[in-house]
Structure 1
């Protein structure tokens, strides 16, 4: 599903964020990306959805080399990918419903289908009662639930999450992980960069550890392996 071959990424300031990575992630997997701060985890996940382009190497997503896509082709790629951020990135002047519906309006989905699908994903994240609320009326955990609902509303084949529990207390973090587990059980691939040692060690999924831009460990049912 996702395959990186000899991928390197150097930034203009001289930082080599990714150093010769070779990795494959299969459909339906749940993968944690771990490592020290500054190890290259965020660059690694951004390469998957073409937020950044590699300096060298190829990245295939569902058989397409996304490093060769023209900029105008990238939005079509991202319809297949849901992205969840640590800082939520909700639009403050739109309601919860409108924030999620916006992702479907962009792809020109029929209004009737939009309403049905938005309410489905709000039900999944247990926020149907907040459909008319605005972001400033939500708790941190609710913000992240809306962000997750928005990421899956277009039925992506993969969800990529960059520190999705980083700003949440433990109770909210675990409730968010329950949602990711349910998403994964439905067949969606989940790739998550995280510093949450407790979650990684408890849930026992595939763990890819990155240090200095290189993969130093790739284990099925792995552990975090660093001090929290």
Structure 2
């Protein structure tokens, strides 16, 4: 499903953010990426959806080496990936409905399908009644739910979440996790970078710990392993 083979990433300033990572993530897994600040988690996530390219190594999504793709072919592969950000990245002048629909409009889906699919995912995240609202009329937790709806509207194989609960209070954080778990139970692979010790220790999924750009721990039903 997802493979990283001897992946290295050095930035122009000389920082070696990723050092020879080898991992394999199966379809349908729920994986936490943990580690101290500056460990390389964000680079790991960016490599996975080709926001940055590795200095060396292979990254395969469904057997396709995304490191070798020409830039014009990257958007097609990204359709298989949904990305959820800590800061939501919603378009402020578009309504909730329009923010989610945009992900389907850019791939030229039929308008009738778009209407049904958008309302279905808004129902999943329990915000169907906010379809006409603007992002700044929503709470932080609601904005993150819309971000998730946008990430799954095109039925991705993988949802990559970078600190999706980082800006939320505990109640909203758990609400987000319930949605992600429901998405995972439907067969979607979830890869989530997080500093939330309570969530990791309670939900007991696979844990990959990164320190100094290297995988130092990879455990099924693992724990966070760091001070909160």
TM bin, normalised by shorter chain, reads: over 0.9
Partner Cα separation in structure 1 for residue 23 and residue 195 of structure 2: 21
Map 1:3-152; keep pairs closer than 5 Å: 3-152=3-152
Q: After superposition, what is the alpha-carbon deviation per residue over 1:107-138, rounded to whole angstroms, capped at 9, x for unaligned?
A: 00000000000000000000000000000100
Partner Cα separation in structure 1 for residue 46 and residue 159 of structure 2: 12
TM (normalized to structure 1)? 1.00
Partner Cα separation in structure 2 for residue 49 and residue 136 of structure 1: 28
What 5-or-longer segments of structure 2 have no aligned partner?
none
Q: CA RMSD in A?
A: 0.3
Q: After superposition, what is the alpha-carbon deviation per residue over 1:127-155, rounded to whole angstroms, capped at 9, x for unaligned?
A: 00000000010000000000000000000
- What is the deviation of 1:17? 0.3
Partner Cα separation in structure 1 for residue 17 and residue 163 of structure 2: 18
What 5-or-longer segments of structure 1 have no aligned partner?
none
2:171 counterpart SS class: helix
Length, aligned pairs only = 228
Map 1:193-204; keep pairs closer than 5 Å: 193-204=193-204
- What is the deviation of 1:159? 0.1
Partner Cα separation in structure 2 for residue 136 and residue 2 of structure 1: 36
Task: Give the aligned partner of residue 158 of structure 1.
Answer: 158
Partner Cα separation in structure 1 for residue 10 and residue 17 of structure 2: 6
TM (normalized to structure 2)? 1.00
Partner Cα separation in structure 1 for residue 171 and residue 186 of structure 2: 24
- What is the deviation of 1:202? 0.1
2:187 counterpart SS class: coil
Partner Cα separation in structure 2 for residue 141 and residue 58 of structure 1: 36
Task: Give the aligned partner of residue 210 of structure 2.
Answer: 210
Partner Cα separation in structure 1 for residue 61 and residue 125 of structure 2: 27
- What is the deviation of 1:100? 0.2
Q: After superposition, what is the alpha-carbon deviation per residue over 1:52-87, rounded to whole angstroms, capped at 9, x for unaligned?
A: 000000011001011000000010011000000000
Q: After superposition, what is the alpha-carbon deviation per residue over 1:13-70, rounded to whole angstroms, capped at 9, x for unaligned?
A: 0000000000000000000000000000010011111010000000110010110000
Partner Cα separation in structure 1 for residue 125 and residue 64 of structure 2: 31
